[in-house]
Amino acid sequence: MGFLKQWRVRTDLSPVKKGFGYRVRARLASQRGFTLIEVLVSALITTLIATAVAGALITNTDIIANQKARSQAETLAEQDQERLKGLSAEQLDNLSQTYTANAGGQSYTITSKAWYLSTTNGQACTTSGGASATYFKTISTVTQTSATGTTKTLATDESVISPDAGGSLLVQFHDQTASPLAGVSLSASGPESDAGTSDASGCVIFSGLDSGNYNLTYTDIGYVDPNGNASPLSDTATVASTGITPPGKGNPIELGQAGGVTGSFTTLANNSSGAQQTFTTRSAGLSWFSSGGAGIPMAAYRDNSSTTVPPPTTLATTTASGTASSSGLFPFVSSTNPVAYTNNYQVWAGVCRQEQPPAGNDMFTVQPGSSITPSIQEPPLQLTVTWNGGKVAPTDVTTTFTSTSGNSCTDTWTDEPATNAGPSGSYVYGLPFASSLSTGSGASASGLTGSLTVCADYKSGTTYYQANTSSFTPTSFTAITTQTLAITSSSTKKQC
């Protein structure tokens, strides 16, 4: 008799799926996934352990290699310090060297530096370091560059070295911007002789000198001192048995590449038609002065005088020897940041400081190593000369400047010809500047005073007759000054 099964009711399990054998097979089948995972985990753990062990071995190898490199670098630094101890004071002065060395199959870069120390442990060749240096500071640095281009410092060694026994001489050179000047040759002669060249800090140091008086000569071709004295220049120093001595003129010594002025003298006045015209004029001298720059002063005004008769229409600045040159002016800066030389000189006609024009006139820019050819303005004189009542061209005109304050100075411009015709039978000349004022816009920039006289002569036949003005000063630096001289047959028979 068969059995009817209810709808949607689970049927009886197959006899095959019943019993102990089935349960064992089912359990084994359910554990197949876990076995695969265990294998993968075991493999991963093995890999991680192997990687860690390899990393540790590599790290340990790197540490050993780095320690070896540092040890070799320290040895190289010590060897370099010993090398520096064997150098002379001149060799150690502001030393900066770089070289390579091999050790243990590796390449290393060694940088050596040394400088004179002051008693305050600053660099001796600086304003703050002073001039009492007694030791050298030396530093040796060893670096290595990897294959990737990275540079590491592996060792640094430093020490302080006592200089040679005896006295020392320290000279520092600056340029016109008050910056160190390298390349200046210095020689010292006295109880012994020594020579050297200023380094990047502008310094020359002679060490281990016998005590006594030394003559110093410093040379930088084309350079001048602030007062226009050309290289080579001289100084003295008294070296003691210990310590360090500066030059007699003190440190720093300033030198600048010389510039120059070759001036043409002119004046602005009216011509014979009454129109304004620039005339070529003359002067028996050329003077110049600068108020200085970068804390560097010009000691005194300079001049270049001429004995030419009549006076020349152009003149140049001079060097210390007095030889005319277009390169005799120190290039004072008007600004250090940025460096500029604008209107750093006032140049004027004449040889007296009292003839210096009012501030702002005849200002010129002199740059290092260059020469300019400006027109140097003179105050205009319109001179009318008569001979027995009729207007004539004077044969000669002589202008004389006389100081009335400051150091006594006289400047005479002799026998100027009548070449510039002015209006109404007059003639135009250039004058030295003179003022009776010591302050104000009409005063000389020097604050000093002076006056002028003019002599004119007329040659009748073989005889000269002359007349002279009273003392006067120009109306202003630019305004026309007029003078009239009447010469007659009863005037003094003499050439101006």
pLDDT in tens, the chain (496 residues): 444 444 444 445 455 455 555 555 555 555 555 566 666 667 677 766 656 555 544 555 557 767 888 889 899 999 999 999 888 777 887 788 999 999 888 899 999 998 777 655 556 565 443 445 567 889 999 999 887 888 999 899 999 887 666 788 999 999 999 999 999 999 999 999 999 999 888 989 888 889 999 999 999 999 999 999 988 999 999 999 887 889 999 999 999 999 999 999 999 999 999 999 999 999 999 999 999 999 999 989 999 999 999 999 999 987 655 666 667 899 999 999 999 999 999 999 999 999 999 999 999 999 999 999 999 999 999 999 999 999 999 999 999 999 999 999 999 999 999 999 999 999 999 999 999 999 999 999 999 999 999 999 999 999 999 999 999 999 999 999 999 999 999 999 999 9
DSSP assignment letter at 81: H
Distance CA 462, CA 458 (A): 10
* Cβ contact 74:82 at 8 Å: no
DSSP assignment letter at 439: S
User: Alpha-carbon dihedral of residues 126, 130, 133, 135, nearest 10 degrees?
Assistant: -50
- CB contact set of 467 (below 8 Å; sequence gap of 6+): 385, 455, 456, 457, 485, 486, 487, 491, 492
Instruction: Name all domains of the chain by residue range, CATH numbers in brackets.
Output: 167-256 (2.60.40.10), 258-487 (no CATH)
What's the pTM value of the predicted model, to 2 decimals?
A: 0.76
CA distances 93 to 158, 165, 203, Å, are: 15, 16, 8
Three-state SS annotation for 15-80? HHHCCHHHHHHHHHHHCHHHHHHHHHHHHHHHHHHHHHHHHHHHHHHHHHHHHHHHHHHHHHHHHH
